[in-house]
Amino acid sequence: MELQSPSRALLEADNLTKRYEDGQLALDHVNFAVAAGEIYAMLGGNGAGKTTTINLFLNFIEPTEGEARVDGIVTHRDPLAAKKKLAYVSENVMLYPNFTALQNLDFFARLGGRTDYSKDAYRDVLLRVGLQEEAHGRRLKGFSKGMRQKCGIAIAILKDAPAILLDEPTSGLDPKAAYEFIGLLDSLRGEGKAILMSTHDIFRARDVANTIGIMNQGKLVMQRSKQDLAGEDLEKVYVEYMAGYMDRETETV
Amino acid sequence: MFRLIVEKELRETLGTTKFAVTFAVCAVLILLAFYVGARNYQVGRAEYEAARAENLKQMEGLTDWGRVDHRIFMPPQPLAALVSGVANDIGRTTEVETRGELRSENSRFNEDPMFAVFRFLDLEFLFGVVLSLFAILFAYDAINGEKERGTLRLSFANSIPRDRYILGKLVGAFLALAIPLLIPILIGCVLLPILGVPMDNGAWLRLGLVVLAGYLYLGVFLALSVFISAMTERSATSFLMLLVVWIVAVLIVPRASVLVAGRAVDVPSIDRINFDKSKFETQLWQEDRDKMMDWQEENSREGESGREFFERFQQYTQELGEERNQRISEYTARLNEERRNRESVQQRVALGIARISPTAVFTLATTNLAGTSLSLKHQYQAESATYQKIYSDFIKEKTGRTNSGMVIRLGGEEEEELDPIDPYELPDFSFAGPQTADVTAAALPDLGLLVLFNVVFFAGAFVSFLKYDVR
Ligand SMILES: Nc1ncnc2c1ncn2[C@@H]1O[C@H](COP(=O)(O)OP(=O)(O)OP(=O)(O)O)[C@@H](O)[C@H]1O
Ligand SMILES: [Mg+2]
């Protein structure tokens, strides 16, 4: 029997394929794995299939073929068990507008099964994601996109799940907040979380990710480790891969 | 989990201005309904007592029971204060004759047609129309609103069973409306006895069941709203759909059912029956007149004084008259029974159709409980008919004759001095109104139907939500 190594795969995409009802092939036999203590950054243009991948992990949609696994649990077989091990920050965080930041945090933390937090714990997390104290007791109605995003990240942290799914988490964050967010990701990785993140921010991805995958039209066209990419210009690689893939596409046509 | 969602729903609802405004409006309307209802009862009761006293007073000084104009009156029903039903449409005064049909007159609406135009603001109207609308207002976006706001996907990124979630939404919405409403209702209940509405245990039980019916009805519209919001993607769509359903259920179905039943089942009109009746009367009268003529020819005896002859003749006409009246009343009884039978068929058809609307079911349940359903009229008619017999026997005993035959007073006789009658000897008529056990039994099927509506709509909501796209 194999010993569970500290870097066991917590998030796995196994031939993950999704064809939407309208016939659109959004994901085409994608394979990857994210181990505990690892950050995986998904790059790719608009409509490449990043959000689709994350939705499959959350069982918001069912795969046409293949499966997504969270800590070995096939998400579409046992979604409730899989979601216990997942925290999630959506592309555009939306919370209850009539609740304050603290009330929103409290509700979603409880929904995530955490009933043991004090008000101070909520304040600490909000400060950790960079939401100034003055805003903690304010209703979400008046929050900017970036402020909502910070609350969303705080909610994901509070759930304290082994795996975290982040869909463009830095969109809407100001440069300072985005910078601090990278530090936050680093410390979450240090706690042993497996993090799957979609992003358009090549440079930050390069700074923080252990592995970078580039998606194009539903296919994972490149997957390389940080070490592997050392010394290379990721932007150039990205453009080349996109273009190369395009070329190949046009050749076959 | 379930409690958390209920709590969140409560907190989210109770904190809004929408709720504050709605609650204020409801509270005022409910208190007003209790107050106005109780005042109406007081006025009605006072009028009833006064009319009864006046009835006896106007008989004072009369010397002949045969000349008495006797009226009986329907007392106001205590719970009609809250559920007026048909109470205002039924005649409250009945002139009692020793024979013939009794007619009730002077309904409330007859006296104050103004009220007939706009009806009263009672508890039944408040729940049936206003609260059902508020239920829709609060729950039309229960599911699709969360989706539009983006909170549904974040919620379902957690390990939540969908059945727990949707039940929590429904229960939360229900409690958010039901608990605050209880406050004005309880205050109203305290007001009732203070404002002079006699409430015995039975009346309290019935009032409790009326409120229960109201809450069940509120639940129906909440469950329906959650159902439709779990079937649609956009809250604007569900709102529109619910508005249409509301109009159909509250305004159209109950009226249409009466129209349809009226077309489907033909009931002869009262005028038609009166026409047939008077035709029959004329026919009988002609026959009797011929008989009287024959009698006169055959029965004139030699040597009999005019007076003796006349007495025998009067004897004969009285017999004829009694027989004639007997036949007429049998005939009208048959016509009336036929009419009643058809009427009840028509009623059954109308109510059957109407019951596809929860509003109609609610109205039927509450009017039954309050004792102001159609059976109030039937019961009153039955009791006054029974009284008529007692009264007629009483008069017969007092006068020695029914006043059916031709009473011919012979002039020239000396007017003998008669003692005045004592109006208090009249047998008393007091209409107790529908009894608690009966009305509760009558209301049970409709209460059951309301429960069924709740279950069906919730099941619909549940099934729709199982396959709802939470993204
Ligand atoms: N519900 C849907 N029905 C049909 N097609 C869909 C649906 N959702 C997404 N798609 C299609 O699937 C493909 C992948 O979409 P997806 O949202 O995963 O892209 P993405 O990589 O997240 O893009 P972006 O960077 O713009 O967020 C797109 O072509 C999109 O049009
Ligand atoms: Mg996306």
Closest by CA to A79, choosing from A50, A101, A56, A102, is: A56
**Residue A61, number of CB atoms within 10 A of its CB:** 18
Report if residue A148 sits inside a domain: no
Chain B contact for A143 (CB, 8 A cutoff): no
- The answer to whether the Cβ–Cβ distance between B149 and A94 falls below 8 Å is yes
In tens digits, what is the pLDDT along chain B, a chain of 471 residues?
899 999 999 998 988 888 999 999 999 999 999 998 898 899 889 999 999 899 888 888 888 887 888 889 999 888 988 898 888 888 888 888 887 777 877 777 777 766 666 667 888 999 999 999 999 999 999 999 999 988 999 999 999 999 999 999 999 999 999 999 999 999 999 999 999 899 989 999 999 999 999 999 999 999 999 999 999 999 999 999 999 999 999 999 988 988 888 888 888 888 888 899 899 999 999 998 888 888 888 877 777 778 888 888 888 888 888 898 889 889 988 988 898 899 889 888 988 999 999 999 999 999 999 988 888 888 888 898 889 888 888 888 877 765 444 444 444 455 556 777 888 888 888 888 888 899 999 999 999 999 999 999 999 999 999 999 988
Pairwise CA distance, residues B393 & B387, whole Å: 10
Pairwise CA distance, residues A252 & A46, whole Å: 22
Contacts of A234 (CB under 8 A, 6+ apart): A202, A203, A205, A206, A212
Report if residue A184 sits inside a domain: no
Question: Which-ligand-closest: CA of A26?
Answer: 1
- The answer to whether the Cβ–Cβ distance between B150 and A152 falls below 8 Å is no
Residues of B contacting chain A (CB within 8 angstroms): 1, 4, 8, 11-12, 15-16, 149-151, 153-161, 469-471
Domain that holds residue A4: 1-85+164-169+196-253
Structure tokens at B79: 């719970």
Mean pLDDT of chain A: 88
Helix (H) or strand (E) holding A18, with range, is: strand A9-19
Pairwise CA distance, residues B116 & B102, whole Å: 24
Report if residue A176 sits inside a domain: no
- Please tell me the distance in Å from A232's CA to the nearest CA on chain B: 37
| β partners of residue A9 | A35
Report if residue A252 sits inside a domain: yes
Q: Closest residue of A to B6, CA-based?
A: A107
Pairwise CA distance, residues B298 & B295, whole Å: 5
Pairwise CA distance, residues B75 & B58, whole Å: 20
Structure tokens at B92: 């409250």
Helix segments in chain A, DSSP class H:
50-57, 79-84, 101-111, 119-128, 145-159, 175-190, 202-208, 226-229, 234-252
Residue pair B218/B26 in contact by the 8 Å Cβ criterion:
no
Number of domains in chain A: 1
- Please tell me the distance in Å from A235's CA to the nearest CA on chain B: 32
Residues in chain A, how many?
Answer: 253
Question: Which-ligand-closest: CA of A24?
Answer: 1
Q: What is the CA radius of gyration of chain A?
A: 18
Residue pair B407/B314 in contact by the 8 Å Cβ criterion:
no
Q: Which residue has the tokens 């009326």?
A: B210
With a 6 A CB cut-off, is A213 part of the ligand 1 pocket? Answer: no
Contacts of A45 (CB under 8 A, 6+ apart): A216, A242
Pairwise CA distance, residues A199 & B154, whole Å: 19
Pairwise CA distance, residues A34 & A196, whole Å: 7
- The answer to whether the Cβ–Cβ distance between B471 and A86 falls below 8 Å is no
Q: What is the ipTM of this complex?
A: 0.91
CB < 8 Å to A155, chain B = 154
Report if residue A131 sits inside a domain: no
Residue pair A46/A60 in contact by the 8 Å Cβ criterion:
no
With a 6 A CB cut-off, is A48 part of the ligand 1 pocket? Answer: yes
Chain B contact for A110 (CB, 8 A cutoff): yes
- The answer to whether the Cβ–Cβ distance between A98 and B12 falls below 8 Å is yes
Hey, is B179 helix, strand or coil? helix
Q: What are phi and psi of B138, to 5 degrees?
A: -90, -20
Report if residue A92 sits inside a domain: no
- Please tell me the distance in Å from A177's CA to the nearest CA on chain B: 22
Return the CATH number at A19: 3.40.50.300
Report if residue A146 sits inside a domain: no
